Amino acid sequence: MQPSICTAFALVLSLTTATGHWKGPSHPSWDLRQFKSLVTFGDSYTDENRLGYFGANNGSAPPTGWVEPMSFNTAGGGITWARWVSIYTCTTLCNYAVSGAVCSNALTPRTWDAVHAPFPDIAGYELPAFTADAAYIVPAIPSAPAHRFLSIPPQSTVYATWIGTNDLGASAFLTDSQVAGKTIADYIDCVYAAFDGIYAAGGRYFVLMNAAPLQLAPLYATPQNGGLAKSKYWGDKPANITQVSYRMWETVVGVNAIFAARTPLELLVKRRYPGARFAVFDVNSLITDIWNHPDTYLNGTAPANATGFVQHCDLTGSDCTLDASPDSFLWFDELHPSQQADRVIAKAFVDVVEGQSKWATYWA
């Protein structure tokens, strides 16, 4: 995106919200002075084009030094939250998220039918891809000298991880489909192991985005909250969808309680990440607030809708129709937040990295 366009977006945001320009840190334990680069890891809630590259190349990964293009057609129906952050703040986005990803295929592998193999995960693909790019030197050409592919100074780069939607859901822990003997505790361990790898590569400012309120997504919601009996994402869903929803709710609440308690344990007691700064972004509470007060956040031409969704498809994922007012919805489809929700998440994320978010807890 051209700087002039980026600046124009930032100006518009500054006129409509409190997060349109860089203010610098206000929380004493978060001392980020400049925000120039965002590096992200995760799944379809964050991915722009990486899964598409795998699919277009028979399952082969993008080469080291691949520049991911911006996408207007992500799993959320438009621009993803990470790209909105980049636009709003004029920062560089390095996005390693892959749709369908889990933290580790050693725990909850999920087969991607298109290539007859598991979806690329954080532990086995995303983190190694980042470290390879971080070490990569672009060869000199007549018009430019050799240079590092990634310009990510540790004092101006934020690393964000949002993973769990697939790990905790159908074909994984929710349906007892994990590798034998593996537990939710192993998933939690994997998340912090990913931060170990980022820290070893020089990262010092981290945002841990906790698990979304999946029990509110139509794929997992109760009947009175718009829950579906069947879906293209879960064709053999059990008949008792209320039980499914409550089990998902219990799992998400437990996971997020562990994130809230374990992050200060790792930083303050175990001293696992010396010199690092962590923000736990309670995106769960933010999305729940959108669900409870949709008129505050959703701005389409139709009434705000937190239980329905924009794109409706048959059980094969075909014959899809789109609602005429997508910005009226919290959900794009039965699992993914809409582009409007991604805008809200992005604006809140900017507050997080400015050290002044009511949705974040900061640790150092």
Whether residue 9 contacts residue 88, with contact meaning beta carbons closer than 8 Å, is answered with yes
**In the chain, domain spans:** 3-137+147-363
Token pair 């607030």 in the structure block, residue: 289
Pairs from 147-154 (Cβ < 8 Å, separation ≥ 24): 149/64, 149/65, 150/37, 150/94, 151/36, 151/37, 151/92, 152/37, 152/39, 152/94, 152/202, 153/36, 153/37, 154/202, 154/203, 154/204, 154/205
pTM: 0.94
Question: Distance between CA 106 and CA 115 in Å, rounded?
Answer: 18
CA angle, 131 then 148 then 88, to 5°: 80
Inform me whether the pLDDT recorded for 249 exceeds 50: yes
pLDDT for 347 equals: 98
Give CA separation, 154 vs 4, 36, 147, 192, 333, in Å: 26, 10, 17, 19, 37
- Phi, psi torsion values for 248, nearest 5 degrees: -65, -45
214-225 pLDDT, tens per residue? 999 999 999 999
pLDDT category of residue 17 using cuts at 50, 70 and 90: very low
User: 18 pLDDT band (50/70/90 cuts)?
Assistant: very low
Segment 152-162 mean pLDDT: 98
Q: Say what the pLDDT of residue 361 is.
A: 98
- Mean pLDDT for 108-126 is 97
Is the pLDDT assigned to residue 340 strictly greater than 80?
A: yes
Average pLDDT over the chain reads: 94
**What is d(CA 61, CA 66) in angstroms, rounded to the nearest whole number?**
10
Q: Which long-range contacts (CB under 8 A, 24 or more apart) does 248-253 make?
A: 248/168, 248/169, 248/174, 248/214, 248/215, 248/220, 249/213, 249/215, 251/168, 251/173, 251/174, 251/184, 252/168, 252/211, 252/212, 252/213, 252/214, 252/215, 252/284
Quick check: 16 pLDDT over 50?
Answer: no
Say which DSSP state 265 is in.
I
Residue 232 predicted with pLDDT over 90: yes
Question: What pLDDT sits at residue 150?
Answer: 97
- Please give the average per-residue pLDDT across 73-90, as a whole number: 98
Task: List, for residues 278-331, the tens digit of each pLDDT value.
Answer: 999 999 999 999 999 999 999 999 999 999 999 999 999 999 999 999 999 999
- State yes or no: pLDDT of 7 exceeds 70: no
CATH class of domain segment(s) 3-137+147-363: alpha beta
pLDDT at 154 over 60: yes
Cβ(143)–Cβ(213) below 8 Å: no
Sign of the CA dihedral running 106, 204, 352, 51? negative
Q: What's the average model confidence in pLDDT over 339-363?
A: 98
- What mean pLDDT comes out for the span 77-90? 98
Q: What's the one-letter identity of residue 216?
A: L
CA distance from start to end of the chain = 33
List alpha helices for the chain, DSSP H: 3-16, 50-56, 81-89, 127-135, 184-200, 241-264, 283-292, 294-297, 339-353
- Mean pLDDT to the nearest integer, 94-105: 98
Q: What is the pLDDT of residue 24?
A: 63
